[in-house]
Amino acid sequence: MSVLNPASPTTVLPDAACAPRPSACPGLVRIVAARDGGICRIKLPGGALSAAQAEAMADASERHASGVIELTNRANVQVRGVRGGHEAGLIAALTDAGLGPLHDAGAAAPYTQQAQHAQQAQHADDVRNVMISPLAGRDPFALFDTRPLSAALLAMLQRDARFAALSPKFALLVDGGERLARLDHPHDVWLAASHDASGDVRFVFGLAGCPPPATAPAQTDATVQNGSGALASVSPAQVPALVRALLHAFLDLAAADATRMRHLLAAHCADAILRHAQAHVDFPLTRDAALVNWRRNTPADAALRLGAHAQRSAGTWHVGGQPPLGRLDANTLRGLAAIARQHGGGALRITPWQSVLLPDIASHAVPVVLAALRERGFACDPADALARLIACTGSSGCAKSLADTKADALKLATYLPPNLDVHLSGCPRSCAAAHCAPFTLLAVAPGRYDLYRRDGTPGFGPCVARQLTIEQAADTLARLARSNTDA
């Protein structure tokens, strides 16, 4: 990907789009070129988006881009089709709506200071990668409200100048024990709320992985060595200091080309990283052998992102729906904002399944909100085919894609057998799905795909059929479903 025209030096964020970083990932202040125009990625703290911000985003996407808005698999939002010469206007509009990183007012400063401010804003934007449940503070099964912790971590990441050296992909997970939780998405540092023997909440943590579910197998020597399982636990008050120490340890120890925690673990064992991090905290930081086979007790259920479900507070519900293939237009986003204002106090939550939650809906309004989502084309039932399909941007927007995956996925939806989840990827990079889907259709030519089935090994799993049309892929998936060999 290439970078589009830099923002004008007279705007709030001068030269924001061209400040150098060791990654081509889009951001709010680094707009990256694609086949269908620029991509501007807005990182939402905890997936939170107010109705006013949604309206501002919709307006800005029409004024400065194509009006196409995508939901990402990290609960962020992308504005696609940014027009040349409109980068600065889009950045300013989104920043004015409170969708940018923490920053100090810099527009009135001399140009050299404005440019420095823009670079600092880009760096702060890059590190805003803290994932929590979209139902944090509302899930009836949660052990801890992670929203204040997430806010504290985001502030620390953005304000410590040294953390600008982290890759824009370096990510943290703070799990409060919710049932609506994405636990198959590897993170560089993960923390999960758990009750200790006295009933107090502690945060168990590990590196380069996810909180292991109750069904996870016992740790092997390899998982113990690489630190992907539970290492130790800290009190909620110690979480920010722990994360800060682990990030400094990463930056101290990592080679120049090591951008993720898994790279560091290939060169240093988890215990060595903990020993190095110990210098940055005033509480003991050693592996707890009693946690070697710690498991998350509450099962996660992604189906709770769809339909209506009761919240922790009596008489309130969250209502969720999935736009077709995670994409909506400006008018649809405005419609969601209007529903949220009328029935939910003006709050929206974007989920890491490329769907939308409207929280705090009163019981009497639930049928109205569900009907409104369905009228706008949202899938509100896990059985809906469009709730079981993931597709990357495809050749209409990405030069690397070998097929129009969005159009092909819509075609597959009319044939998709029940109870099958399928991922369509235009190239081996698998941008749309960081987790392993049960089945992956990997494009090899326009309208042609190789079919892979997950078997627990890295990657897509073994290839079970090649050079399939969408109709042939649907027939093959149906046969696999009937034979009960679904992984």
Contact call for residues 298 and 208 (beta carbons, < 8 A): no
% of the chain surpassing 70 pLDDT: 89
* Gyration radius of the chain's alpha carbons: 22
Cα separation, 333 vs 484, whole angstroms: 40
Element (H, E) at 80: strand 77-82
Structure-token pair, residue 49: 């988006």
Residue 279 CB neighbour total at 10 angstroms: 11
Q: With H, G, I as helix, E, B as strand and everything else as coil, classify residue 134.
A: coil
**For position 115, what pLDDT does the model report?**
53
Q: With H, G, I as helix, E, B as strand and everything else as coil, classify residue 155.
A: helix
**Strand pairing of 68-71 and 356-362?**
unpaired
Cα separation, 351 vs 71, whole angstroms: 8
Region of poorest pLDDT, from 57-71, 119-133, 469-483: 119-133
pTM over 0.85: yes
Structure-token pair, residue 482: 């009937």
**For position 430, what pLDDT does the model report?**
86
Of 32, 24, 36, 29, give the one whose Cα is nearest residue 3.
32
| Angle of helix 470-482 versus helix 405-413 axis, rounded to 10 | 50
**For position 161, what pLDDT does the model report?**
92
At residue 435, φ and ψ (nearest 5 deg) are -90, 170
What is the set of domains in the chain, with CATH numbers?
A: 16-126 (3.30.70), 143-176+183-291 (3.30.413.10), 302-386 (3.90.480.20), 388-482 (3.30.413.10)
Which residues have a Cβ under 8 Å from the Cβ of 86 and sit 6 or more positions away?
Answer: 63, 64, 65
Residue 109 has pLDDT above 50, yes or no: no
* 287: DSSP letter: -
Residue 16 has pLDDT above 60, yes or no: no
**For position 4, what pLDDT does the model report?**
46
**Cα 67 from chain centroid?**
21
Region of poorest pLDDT, from 179-188, 223-232, 340-349, 461-470: 223-232
Amino acid at 70: E
Name the pLDDT band for 261 (thresholds 50, 70, 90): very high
Tens-place pLDDT, residues 137-153: 999 999 999 999 999 99
Helix%, strand%, coil% for the chain, nearest 5: 35, 20, 45
Using the structure block, give the residue that is written with the tokens 């998936």: 477
Tens-place pLDDT, residues 312-368: 999 999 999 999 999 999 999 999 999 999 999 999 999 999 999 999 999 999 999
More confidently predicted of 8 and 276: 276
Residue 107 has pLDDT above 50, yes or no: no
Contact call for residues 333 and 78 (beta carbons, < 8 A): no
C-beta contacts of 426-429 below 8 A and 24+ residues apart? 426/392, 426/393, 426/394, 426/395, 426/398, 426/400, 426/401, 426/402, 427/392, 427/398, 427/400, 427/401, 427/402, 429/400
Residue 436 has pLDDT above 80, yes or no: no
Contact call for residues 426 and 436 (beta carbons, < 8 A): no
Cα separation, 155 vs 375, whole angstroms: 39
